[in-house]
Amino acid sequence: MTELESSVAEVASILEELARATLDVDRTVWAEPEDFAATVGALCSLLKALPADPIQFAGQTRVLPMLSSLGIRLDLVFAALPAERDLIARSRPKQLGGRPVNVATVEDPIWMKLISDQPKDLDDARRLIRRFRRTLDRAYLEPKLQTLSEAFARQDILDIFRQETERP
């Protein structure tokens, strides 16, 4: 297995001092289709998989719930879309527990949460936008939000972004 590229949306929030309680960590992992089973197997040798048949479960759901040695829930999300691969490529190394961990830039969790229809995700997006509105990479984020807004026929994606960036 090659070194896994990862993004950690919740960890990005913590590292950037955004106060938000989380009970799990989500990591996005890219595995080439021909390496999928080997990647799942390698991950299972490092962490405890929760499903009885991790390869089948991850293959069907694109998510592999696992537990760390400290009992922390970890949801590994197997990326499949070009936008997810871009998110991984844009991630930047941060020190976490004395180890480098690739963490998503703040713009990527924002668009991921804005396309959700879950109130908690939309609230998270609002908080991230407000917290980082002065330093957001708008040249990257605004065209992406425009495209997503049109693709999902959801004007609220742009409305939320604009409302939060225009607040005093």
CA angle (104 as vertex; 125, 141 as ends), nearest 5: 55
Is the model's pTM score more than 0.75?
no
Confidence band of 54 (pLDDT split at 50, 70, 90)? very high
> Rounded CA gap, 30 and 53, in Å?
20
The yes-or-no verdict on residue 4 having pLDDT over 90 is no
- Per-residue model confidence (pLDDT) at position 3: 41
Contact by Cβ (8 Å): 105, 90 = yes
Task: Tell me the per-residue pLDDT of 66-98, one tens digit each, with 9 for 90 and over.
Answer: 998 888 888 888 988 888 888 888 989 988 778
Task: Tell me the per-residue pLDDT of 152-164, one tens digit each, with 9 for 90 and over.
Answer: 999 999 999 999 9
Partners of 28 in beta bridges: 7, 77
Long-range contacts, 95-104 (Cβ 8 Å, 24+): 96/11, 96/15, 101/6, 101/8, 101/11, 102/5, 102/6, 102/7, 102/8, 103/7, 103/8, 103/11, 103/12, 103/15, 104/7, 104/8, 104/9, 104/12, 104/28
